[in-house]
Structure formats: C-alpha cells, structure tokens
Structure 1
Amino acid sequence: MSAQEAIPIYTNLTDLYASLGTSLNHAERWANLAEEFEKRFGRKPEYIVRAPGRVNLIEHIDYALFGVLPAAIERDILIACAPTTPLADATPHAPGSVFAENLHPKYTRQEFAPAPKAKPSNVDDDVHVEGWHLDIPQQLRWENYVKAGYYGVLENYFTGSEVHPVPVDLLVTGSVPAGSGLSSSAAMVVASTLAFLAINGKLEGTTDKITKGELVKMSMENEKRVGVNSGGMDQAASVMSVPSSVLYITFYPSLTASPTPLPGGAVLVCAHSLKVSDKALTAKKGYNLRVVETLVGARVLARTLGIPVGAREKITLREVVGKLTAETDVGAGGKGMDVPALMDVLQKMAAAVEQLKPSGSADPDFGATMEEMIAMSGLSAEEFHEVYMSWVEVDATHFRLYKRAKHVCSEALRVLKFRKLCLDTAVAGADPAAGNLVALKELGRLMNESQTSCADDFECSCEELDLLTQLARDAGAYGSRLTGAGWGGCTVSLVPEDEVDSFIKKISETYPPYKGLVGDALSEVIFATRPSTGACVYKFD
C-alpha cells in the first residue's frame, strides 16, 4: 500500500527522469538548478527534492471523507538544499537558521531562524506543548510556505530534543503556476517539508523512516499554518502518485491510495483561466465556508435520518453514509464497506439529501441563517460555535446546506463510477480505437457532470471557468471541468492525444484572455501533461 512506502531517494538521474513524464525538459531544469545553487552558495547541493502539482479529475469532497481521483502532473516544485557552510571569520549561525533563495528574480532572499520555547514550569512532562516559535504570517509569500514545511519538522523531530536542526541553504524553483488551482502551495509545503527532513537526516539511516502517508499527514498540518484547512487530497496526490495513473485516495476509515490507470488514447490539458484562485485569500467566503456547510449539513442530515450524533462530534457525510448502513470494520486499520456497497448506498442518498430542503420554503436551495442552522443542528449556540466555528473563519449570512450535500454525495458516486470504468477498461485490454474510445467518452461525460455540479450546487466555479470548460468541449475535449478549489484557477480537459496541438490552438484563439499569447507565454497558461510520479529526493554523490 503506497501510504506505507518510503519516500523514493534516487542516486541515478536516468531512473529519476524516466519517472517524471515527457512534456518538460526535466534534465535541463534539474541541471540548471544545481549549477545556480553552486554559484550562489559556493558548493554543490546535497539534495534536490521534488513535489509535483496535481489535477483533480473528480473531487471537492475530501473534507467530507469521501474518496477522490487526483493525479500528479509533470510540473513541480524543486528545492536544492545543503547544510550551511560556516565561514571561518563569521559569527556562528543560530541553530536551524535558513538562508532561502528563489530562482525567480522577483523573489528576494529570505533569512530566518526558529527559536526554541521553554516549557512552562507548571506543565507536566507528558503534556505536549509546541516547542518552537517560527513567525509564519498568513500571507501569500513563498517563504511562508517554506516556513510552514519547516515548522512540522521542528515540532515532530526536535521538540524536547537536545539535538538542534542544522542551518540550511535552500534554492527554490517551480513550474506550477501560482493561484492556478494546481496546488502549487501544497507542492511547496511538501517539497519544503522533504527538504528539511533530508538535510536533518530523517530520510536515511534510521529504522523508522518516514512513510508517504506520514509525510502527507505532516504536510496537511503544515499547510494549516498558512491558513488553509486542507482535506489532504492535494498533499496525497503530490506524495503518492504514480506515472500513467490517477490516484484513488480514501480517507475513511484510514488513509489509503491506489493507482487507477487511465485508458490510453488521451492526455490531460490544463488551462489557466487567468483568474487567480488562492484559498488563503478566498477561504472565508469560499473553501472554508464550504467545509463548514458540508459538516453542518452532515449533522442535520444525520438527525433527520435518526442517526445519533454526539454533542461534540463533528460528523462527516461519509460517516453518515456508514452509520446509515450500520457499516462495520471501521476501527484502526479497518477497510469499511466495499466499493460496490458504497456505490449502492450513494445511489440511494439522493432521496435522503432532499430532506435537507425546508418544507414550505420559497427558497428550494435552502439558504439558512446562522440562527436557523443552529436550531437545525440540535445544539445550543455555544456548542455549535465551539464545534463548527471556533477553528475556522467564515464570512456568510446564509448557508446552503442542501446544495452542498447534494454535490458531495453525487460527486462521491461519480468518483466511483470513474474509477470503475478505468479499471474495467484496463482489465478488458481495450483497443484505443474501440473500447478505449467508448470509455474516454464516458469519462468525459462524468467530468462534464462534475463541472455542472460544481457550478450549480457547490457554487465554486466562476464565469471564466464556465466559459473555458465550454470552449474546451467545443474544441474536441471528451470532458472538461475546473480543478482545485475553484473560484478561478485552472480547468482540466481530457483530450485525444493526437489532437492536443490543434486543441490548444483552438482554445488560444477562442478564449479572450489568451489573445496575443504565443510561445512560452502561452505554454505557461495552457499545457498538456500525463500523470506523473509523486514526491521524491535526489541525493548527490
């Protein structure tokens, strides 16, 4: 199981490049980064770490604990790193000092150092207290994502230890467009976490090497330091993906990831709407609000169905489904219900979700006020705010519980249908001219349904994404939908592999923001990719 696997550490560049894909000149990028590191810091790096961005073919349900189907892309974040070499006549560096530079000229050199905290004298030794201070403003600056990755390593490996982290030099570069919905932020946090683990000897020479699953969980917690309550899909896709496959990721009852091969004959094309989407900026009215609406909808639905929910329990829609069917084997290491059973119950959930509509309301979408939502939850105002509002900031006067639950349950079923079709096609060994073509058209239909649901029920699309997905279908894509959190960013389209060039040309001519873009400027905003491998480390001799 990929969650239990160790992080790959390469010492042979030929093997490394073979795992990354074919649409980028990876060798040139890696060599350029290593050479630039040596120019700036006076020696070769010890490691280059890589974390890819990702696309979502069907998703936006991970925080409800339903499975998702993302894929790593070839575009990535690279960080070259080495322990800082102290100068003979210089003042010694503070423990764990970081000297970080970015290959992009618009980013300036950053220097920072963590400070260990003293445990208060009135706190017992067995009580966990965060042991380090590292200033991480919730601002959209690249170094804050580096700091977020560092913080998790400090807390997990150096709290209460007499050993201090080593000073480190970092040089960062990236090919994932920022604010595009391709998880550049998650890739940056994963890469940063890996860099600090590598430099501090936590990936090699230990009996308890960090697993991919542990790296995912650490990176999830790290990204919260910059104000994003991620469900884990972005980090899991960046860490656990394998070439030529999408990754079926489940979160309940435990984190699992298994590759699902895409049928041959098509590639993925990512197109930036050029409306920047950043969860940290839009979270209060967007991503974080949807998390709250989905969680509260789950509690209200559970009460409607007669499922008992504890006063402090933050039940998810996936758990509601499990309790509705008296699901067993969900303890530690349990697998829960099998996929056919889950598909069956999800098909029946549509009628149950309809019960979230208020009887006699003039608004079938059900926009509940805060007071109405609290009353429907069965909690006191104090209990409600403690469970649902104390840990996240949202900005809304009305909460659309019905529409959010409708999207989540229908999308969860689309994920399973998409996966089943991919697996069935692989087993059948279909010819691209026959069976694969049928499968690709059906996969495209599911992607189109997902986009409609994202636009109408989850309301995380926007005019630019709606237009771009429609133009993609008109240009010959089997299917097209937004990818990432939404409200801007990228679309992902499933495109016949022999029509990619003509497809990109049509989009460049019909999507107004692309007018006048050619060459590198165009390839920055629309590009083809095949599913790539997940995070890895290259160790220099």
Structure 2
Amino acid sequence: MAASLPIPIYTSLDEVYSSLGTATNHAVRWNDLAEEFENRFGRKPAFIARAPGRVNLIGEHIDYALFGVFPAAVERDILIACAPRSASSYASYTPASNEPSMEQERGRVADPEPLHLPGFVVAENLRHEKYPRKTFAPMRGMSTSKLLDEPTEEDVRAEEWMLDIDKGRLAWESYVKAGYYGVLNRFFPPTSLVTTTNPHPIPVDMLVTGTVPAGSGLSSSAAMVVASTLAFLAVNGKLQGISKGELVEMAMENEQRVGVNSGGMDQAASVISTTNSALHITFFPKLAAEPIPLPGSVSSSAASSHAVFIIANSLVVSDKVVHSKTRYNLRVVETLVSARILALRLGISVGKNEKVTLREVLGRWLGAKEVKGGQEEVDVEKLRDGLERIGEEVEKLRPEGKGDEEELGVTLGEMIQMSGLSEEEFNELYLSWVNVEATHFQLYKRSKHVFSEALRVLQFRDVCLRSATSSITTQSTLEELGALMNESQESCSKLFECSCPELDELTRLAREAGAYGSRLTGAGWGGCTVSLVAESDVDSFISKIKKAYAPYHNLEGEALHEVIFATKPSSGACVYKFE
C-alpha cells in the first residue's frame, strides 16, 4: 500500500532528479537554493525538503463528501532548505531592517531576538520581495523569562503550544507555522517540562523557494505545509518511522490551523504520488491511494499516441480562506445538508447528531453493513453501479415543479424544515463550526454534481487501467479521457458553480486549440485549467492560447512559461540529506 511506505530520504541528487520529471531543470534550482542558504546563514543546509503541487485531473469538490479523486503531483514544487542552529551560527545573526522583533510580534517577550529559545525559527523566502524574513518561536502560554527558568509541572500542565496565526490576514509564514504545529504536538507534548535537560524543539534556520503559483488551484498552500512539516521533522531527527500516510494526516491537521477544512486530496497527492502515474485516492472507509499509470506517459512505442497535461493559469487569484463563507465552506455545508435530506427522502435512517456524507448515504442505500468504526467497504464495481443508478434519486431534492432555468435553491428556513431538525439542532450540527453566507442553498445541484463527478472518476480510472494493459495508447483512449474532462468542467460550471468566466473561456479556447479535454483544477473560482494535449502539439497549442486569451497577449519567454506550461506526473514529497 502506497500510504504505508516511508518518506524517501535521498543522499544522492541523481536519485532526487530522476524521480521528479523532465520538464524542469531541477539541478540548477536545488544548487542555487543551497548556495543562497550558505550565503545568508553562513553554513550549508542540513536538509532540503521538497513537496510538489498537484493537478487534479478529475474529481473536483467531492473529497469532503468522501468520494475518490484522481490527482497527480506536478513537477512544480516548494523547496525548504534548513539546518539546526548552533550557538556560533546565531552569534553572528543580524536581523533584517524590515524584520519585526519578537517583542513587536508578541508584545510580551523581553528579549527582542531570543535566538537561543527552544525551537526558535528564522524563516526567509526567496519567492518574492513582498515576503520578508520572519522570526518566531513556539510558546507554552507563558512569558519567555518563565520558559527560560525552571517552570514547575503545575506551570505547564494545562498549557498548549502557541504559534500566532492570524486567519483573517494570512501571511506566508502562517503556512510554515502550520507545519510546525504537527511536529510540536506529536513529538514535544506541551505538558512536558522544558528544562535544560528535557528534550525540546531545535532552533532552526530555513530558506523557502517555490515554483507553484499561489492561488492558482495547484495547491501551493498544501505543498508549503507538507514541506514545512517535513523540514521540522528532519531538523528535529523525527523522520524515521513516519509513513507517507501519517505525513498526509499530519499535514491535513496542520492546514486546518490556517482555517481550511481540507478533504485530504491535496496533501495525499503531494506526498504519495509516483512518477508517470496519477493517484486514485479514496477516503472511505479510510484513506487509501492507488497509483494508476497514465496512458502514453511511459510507452516508448512509435505507434502510440503520446499526450501531456498543460496547465494554464487564468490569472484570477482564488483565495479559499478569504472567500470561504460564500464559496468553499458554503459548498461543504451544502453537500453535508443535502446528504441528510436525501437520506431522509430515501427512507434511510440518520442520527440526530450525525453529520452524514453523500458517500455514506450511497453506501447505506446500497445495503453496506455498519461495522465497528464505520461502514464496510464497497467494491469498485458495486460503487460504480450505485453511482449510475442514484442520479435518478437525486431528483427528489429538486424543488417541486421547478425547471433547470428556475431557482433550484432553498432558503435557510426551508432547509432546516427539510432536515427534520429544530433550528437549534440544525445550527449546532451544521453552522456552529463554520461561517457561511447565502440567500439560497443549492442542495439539488451540489449533490447532482458530486454523484456524477464521482462516477466520472471511476470511469477515468477504468480507461487508464484498460490502456495500461496495452503497449499502445490509442487516439480513442485519449478522446475518452478528454470527454470525461469536458463533462466535469460543465458540471463544475453549471451545477457546482465553482468556475468563473475566465476559466470557462480558457477551457473553451483549449478545446478549440486542439485539446482532447480541458477543465478547471483545484477549488475553482479562478486559478488554473488542465488540458490533455498531444505531446507533438504542445508548442502550437500554447501559441494558440497566447493569441486567443487576452491576459497572455503581452507575456513572452519566462513570463509566459510561468502561466502556461506542460507537465508530466512527478513523484511525491521527499527529503534530501546533505552529508
């Protein structure tokens, strides 16, 4: 099982580069990062942690309904060079002129640059000048002077780790801090005494760089959190014994620290992916990842049809956190409530305090037995059959007498009444933990998308597996995959309403430029599209998109390559150890 494998730790850069793909000159980037770390901190890094972004080929907004998805890691990634700090290394440290002191950031730390504090971090970012150097240290809810003395067990018994993360104004270092939390909570319990003899987190210098565009739908935030988690594990000597699945779980919990209720797809793709394959990731009854070879990605037959994926950035920034109450988090609530109401209309029992998902409703409808810890697993064939049939049952959620062009949503009051719960019970179960804002809740449209998209994922998987048994990828195979991608885009745009005019335009232009299929990828509302394109047509395809899509007209060279580029599936997260 891929999730049970250990995190790769390389000591040879040849091993690293051979696993990353071929479209990017990785050697130059890694070497430049190591040299810049030495320039800034006066010594070589001990480790470089890598976490790739991901492209979701199909299966959008269904992971938090517990249906499987089909992402692949991309070659673009986040790299963090890091090293433990010694007394000699911080003795010569000079704060940057624009760097706030610990005293300014916390308002209660006496020493403005306490570089000797347990776990103190100096973090710098090469990605953009707008990302200034940051310094911070984990605290146990007490003053620095208290921490540096000999606190009693009573002082720290009830304290928890504190790393200031302002969810209302996310700065780049918030994602680094989020990754740190998981390591602190797992290996440095806050109830343990911090003395000169007890273990404590190690002070660290880190330098971040990356090529995953922020807000693009390629999961730069998850890549940053995964890379940060890996960096702190490596510096503190905690990598051994950590499986890929455990890292995924840690990263999921860590990203929640910045206010994102993630379903786990982004983290799993970044960690578990393998070269030349996508992942069929399932979340129910437990997290599992199955590598699926992609057609044409490894075949050397001259008769085969080779294809690559081209990522195109709409240049509309999608911020899941800023707009969550009307977009991402609202969709989570809509899918959860639709699951309860559909279950009731299908005659399926749902507990008053049960936050049932659409995947669980489907399983009960198919007769899956309840077992200890949840529901028994349903095999792929039975699940596919159920998804093909339940589409008709979703019509039970359509407001009576309403056509497709009419308002298909329901008001909050109507939704509460349909749920069979009192207003107090409903608010406690569905609204007490998340902020949402809507005049109408689209239960019918959201559930229709989720079930049809879940079926498309299985159909996409079937085509890939069928192709893997042959040494030749046929034109018809690529056309089948492309048709599924196009159907997904239509559903995302019309039913889940997570597209935007620019994404609709880009996908239309991609099809006109010769793509087999094109769809948005990621949360949507901006960000990127992914298109399946014949490898021989890549240059002409990009040229056509540049001419047709207005925001690209003035872009040339590297600037153009930053927003539209071909990629092949890459390997997942890893750590390089300097010797």
TM category, shorter? over 0.9
1:325-404 equivalences under 5 Å are: 325-328=366-369, 331=372, 336-361=377-402, 366-404=408-446
CA deviation digits over 1:401-441, x for unaligned, max 9? 000000000000000000011001111x1423xxx211110
Contact 1:58/1:68, CA 8 A, preserved across alignment: yes
Alignment partner, residue 199 of structure 1? 235
**What's the offset of the Cα at 1:92?**
5.5
Alignment partner, residue 303 of structure 2? none
**What's the offset of the Cα at 1:130?**
6.7
* Cα separation, partners in 2 of 1:350 and 1:112, compared to 1, 3 Å: same
Structure 1 runs of 4+ with >6 Å offset: 118-125
Partners of 2:517 and 2:543 lie apart in 1 by 17
Task: Give the letter for the 1:472 counterpart.
Answer: A
Alignment partner, residue 146 of structure 1? 176
* Cα separation, partners in 2 of 1:314 and 1:124, compared to 1, 3 Å: farther
Which of 226, 230, 247 is the matching residue for 2:258?
226
Which consecutive residues of structure 1, in runs of 5 or more, have no partner in the other structure?
none
Which of 244, 255, 263 is the matching residue for 2:295?
263
Alignment partner, residue 86 of structure 2? 85
**What's the offset of the Cα at 1:400?**
0.3
* Cα separation, partners in 2 of 1:531 and 1:382, compared to 1, 3 Å: same
| 1:323 aligned onto 2:369 | no
| 1:416 aligned onto 2:458 | yes
Which of 191, 208, 224 is the matching residue for 1:188?
224
Partners of 1:120 and 1:480 lie apart in 2 by 61
**What's the offset of the Cα at 1:85?**
2.2
Contact 1:365/1:402, CA 8 A, preserved across alignment: no
SS of residue paired to 1:473:
helix
TM-score normalized by structure 2?
0.89
**What's the offset of the Cα at 1:64?**
0.2
**What's the offset of the Cα at 1:328?**
3.4
**What's the offset of the Cα at 1:146?**
0.4
Partners of 2:520 and 2:247 lie apart in 1 by 27
Partners of 1:109 and 1:507 lie apart in 2 by 38
CA deviation digits over 1:442-494, x for unaligned, max 9? 00000000000000000000000000000000001000000000000000000
Quick check: which has more Rg, 1 or 2? 2
Task: Give the letter for the 2:80 counterpart.
Answer: I
**What's the offset of the Cα at 1:394?**
0.9
* Cα separation, partners in 2 of 1:459 and 1:120, compared to 1, 3 Å: farther
* Cα separation, partners in 2 of 1:266 and 1:92, compared to 1, 3 Å: closer
Alignment partner, residue 299 of structure 2? none
Alignment partner, residue 98 of structure 1? 121
Per mean C-alpha deviation after superposition, the further-off stretch among 438-447 and 115-124 is 115-124
Partners of 1:395 and 1:534 lie apart in 2 by 36
SS of residue paired to 1:57:
strand
Partners of 1:403 and 1:26 lie apart in 2 by 43
TM-score normalized by structure 1?
0.95
**What's the offset of the Cα at 1:121?**
9.8
Per mean C-alpha deviation after superposition, the further-off stretch among 475-484 and 148-157 is 148-157
SS of residue paired to 1:271:
strand
**What's the offset of the Cα at 1:253?**
0.2
**What's the offset of the Cα at 1:122?**
10
Which consecutive residues of structure 2, in runs of 5 or more, have no partner in the other structure?
93-113, 143-150, 193-197, 297-305
Partners of 2:205 and 2:475 lie apart in 1 by 50
Partners of 1:283 and 1:470 lie apart in 2 by 27
SS of residue paired to 2:330:
helix
Partners of 2:55 and 2:44 lie apart in 1 by 33
Task: Give the letter for the 2:162 counterpart.
Answer: H
Alignment partner, residue 491 of structure 1? 529
Partners of 1:195 and 1:444 lie apart in 2 by 38
Per mean C-alpha deviation after superposition, the further-off stretch among 500-509 and 87-96 is 87-96
Contact 1:3/1:213, CA 8 A, preserved across alignment: yes
Partners of 2:154 and 2:235 lie apart in 1 by 35
- Aligned-residue CA RMSD in angstroms? 2.0
**What's the offset of the Cα at 1:366?**
2.5
Partners of 2:562 and 2:14 lie apart in 1 by 26
Which of 137, 141, 144 is the matching residue for 1:113?
137
Partners of 1:538 and 1:29 lie apart in 2 by 14
Partners of 2:351 and 2:154 lie apart in 1 by 32
Partners of 1:122 and 1:388 lie apart in 2 by 38
SS of residue paired to 2:28:
helix
Alignment partner, residue 300 of structure 2? none
* Cα separation, partners in 2 of 1:43 and 1:511, compared to 1, 3 Å: same
Task: Give the letter for the 1:492 counterpart.
Answer: V
CA deviation digits over 1:115-137, x for unaligned, max 9? 01489999998xxx672011011
Partners of 2:478 and 2:87 lie apart in 1 by 57
